[in-house]
Amino acid sequence: MSDLPVPSDQPVPNSLRALSDVSDPGERYRALPDGYRVGQARFVIVTGSVMSGLGKGIFSAGLARLLADRGFSTNLIKMDGYYNEDAGTLSPYRHGEVFVLDDGTECDMDIGTYERFMGHSLSHHNYFTNGRLSQRINALERGGQFSGSDVQFFPHVTGELVRFVRESTQTAGADITLVEIGGTVGDEENRTYISAMSDLAYQEGERSVFFINLVWIIEARHLNEQKSKAAQHGTQLLMQMGIKPQMLVCRAENAVEPGVRQKLADRLRMPARNVIDLHNQSSIYRVPGHLQEQRVDEICLRYFGMDGRAPAAAPRPEPAGSSPPAAAGGLQRYLQALTRTRRIARIGIAGKYLGPRDTYASIHNALEHAGTDRQVRVEAVDVPSDLIDAAGPPPARERQAAEYLQDLDGLVVPGGFGRRGWEGKIACVAYARRHGMPMLGICYGFQAAMVEFARDRCALPAANTQEVEPRTGAPIVLLLPEQYEIEGIGGSMRLGRRTVRLRPGSLAARLYGAERIEERFRHRYELNPLYRPLLESRGMVFSGWAPGQPIVQVAELPEHPFYFGVQYHPEFLSRPGAPSPVFAGLIDASLAGRRAALGRATDEGTR
């Protein structure tokens, strides 16, 4: 009976009307989390044109800081188009450093920028990839959550992206959520996000979503002028995809000329005041002030009908041992301190991911935070451990390391993976230990320090890590116990924020001013506890460990001015105005070493 056609001029029987109402529930699929009300929040969507690496993350964080300073609860989301589940397996050369959150999420480095600007910890609710989207859609389909519909780009795929944005907003209790879409307009993998944000704007209603496009203004040196055509074309491509931005942010090496901004306003049909200059700044922490001078926050709020200042939002509670938030006043004091830096400390970074600054972004930030706190301008110097590695046998490597390090004040040996550059790191550590150079070893750098000490001071020439030499006869570093049954590498390490107990009276306890701290981890290998007594008998002090476990987290050498190794990543919790204690300790020791060297030189000159 139900298969028979019903003439259009006859009323539809109730039985058939009921069937027609539910025949294709997918067409009415709406991405509304439980308890979410449409229109309860506002959204700022940030895209980029012309090229990647424009600084969308810094802009987004700067604008979020301004909105938060006005009392609005502000949330940030980064959406990346790659099909990796997260950033954990990405090469730093491809996508910058991998940043780790409290909950263990391995994410894009822009999330680190968000945290440093906003002063509170984020989570997996603030990060999304096409890989996560694919998993999410597949899990929902397998679970029968699409009511029998064939799963389509519209409304299911775009709907799940909209749902994620709303869920993140709801979790944060945000008045305004900023969504940064990675890459550039025109990237095929970003079409999903752009379509979804267009849907979000339609569903949330008029003046609920504010679109901002960042562009690069080309400065042709042979013409001695700025060119805007690429910026026009990139923005027009976004408009062809159904989104007309309300604001254009012009990135450039130098201040964008008024004529160029006016031309862009005319060609793209937007008010001239909405074409914003964002040329290179001496510090990324000057970006909020530069945006405020152009009233970027006011323009957004006026569009939303949220003029003025919201009631002061209650500060978010931070886990014990964290740095205090970089609120407006704290950031301002930081910038004032930045202008007072007089002395210079030259600190080497002995790594293999050198060249692009983004590969060690958090290290550079932590050095700046610590230096500014001590009124010192830190000059970070690349020390290519892979080139030192390739120099030849150990004596040649040590000579090469000396050439790079001899004029520096201190050394950071950062984290990493794999064989390339490993022996180069060990050569750098050896130079620092033997010449009294302040040295901070982080994760892989900590492990290199332990192997070098075992080889030289413990008469174990075969000492190594199993990561590089699985069959080594002296495995100073080996897999964590929980790693033996794991087959994959993505997301399988010891990740996230964990407690560390510090030995009373140790350098570590003095630096932190506490005996129990929390730091963020990202590692798979650890110091072999069987070798701990031997290393201790030769003078190594293990001053930090995992509570209830024989896992060493901190090592120091009291006979040395500053020979300090940590298994965790202190750079991930360093913030402007609240530097990491271990980076501050490195700067202090580096300055003390420079003063001592100057004193010796003066004495020799007098004699």
Domains of the chain, with CATH numbers? Answer: 36-304 (3.40.50.300), 340-597 (3.40.50.880)
Q: Is 166 left (phi over 0), alpha (psi -120 to 50) or beta?
A: alpha
Asked if residues 548 and 495 have their Cβ atoms less than 8 Å apart, the reply is no
Identify whether 279 is a catalytic site residue: no
Q: Is the pLDDT of residue 314 over 50?
A: no
Q: What is the mean pLDDT of the chain?
A: 90
155 preceded by cis ω (within 30°)?
yes
Question: Which of 250, 364, 443, 452 is flagged as catalytic?
Answer: 443
User: What order do you get walking across the sheet with 474-479 strand by strand?
Assistant: 463-465, 474-479, 525-527
Q: What is the pLDDT of residues 515-570, one digit of tens each?
A: 999 999 999 999 999 999 999 999 999 999 999 888 999 999 999 999 999 999 99
3-state DSSP assignment of residue 537: helix
Q: Using CA atoms, how far apart are residues 315 and 326, in angstroms rounded to an integer? A: 11
Q: Is the pLDDT of residue 168 over 70?
A: yes
Q: How confident is the model at residue 28 (pLDDT cuts 50, 70, 90)?
A: low
Q: What is the pLDDT of residues 40-92, one digit of tens each?
A: 999 999 999 999 999 999 999 999 999 999 999 999 999 999 999 999 999 88
DSSP string, 286-304: GHHHHHHHTTHHHHHHHHH
Model-level pTM greater than 0.85? yes
Question: Which of 156, 364, 523, 569 is flagged as catalytic?
Answer: 569
**Number of CB atoms found within 10 A of residue 545's CB:** 20
Identify whether 369 is a catalytic site residue: no
Q: What is the pLDDT of residue 311?
A: 63
User: What order do you get walking across the sheet with 275-279 strand by strand?
Assistant: 127-129, 74-80, 176-181, 42-48, 209-216, 247-252, 275-279
Instruction: Name the burial class of residue 513, with classes exposed (0-12), middle (13-18) and buried (19+) by CB atoms within 10 angstroms of its CB.
Output: exposed
**Amino acid type, 422:** W
Q: Is the pLDDT of residue 137 over 50?
A: yes
Identify whether 458 is a catalytic site residue: no
DSSP string, 116-153: HHH-S---GGGEEEHHHHHHHHHHHHHTTTTTTPPP-I
Question: Which of 106, 180, 204, 571 is flagged as catalytic?
Answer: 571
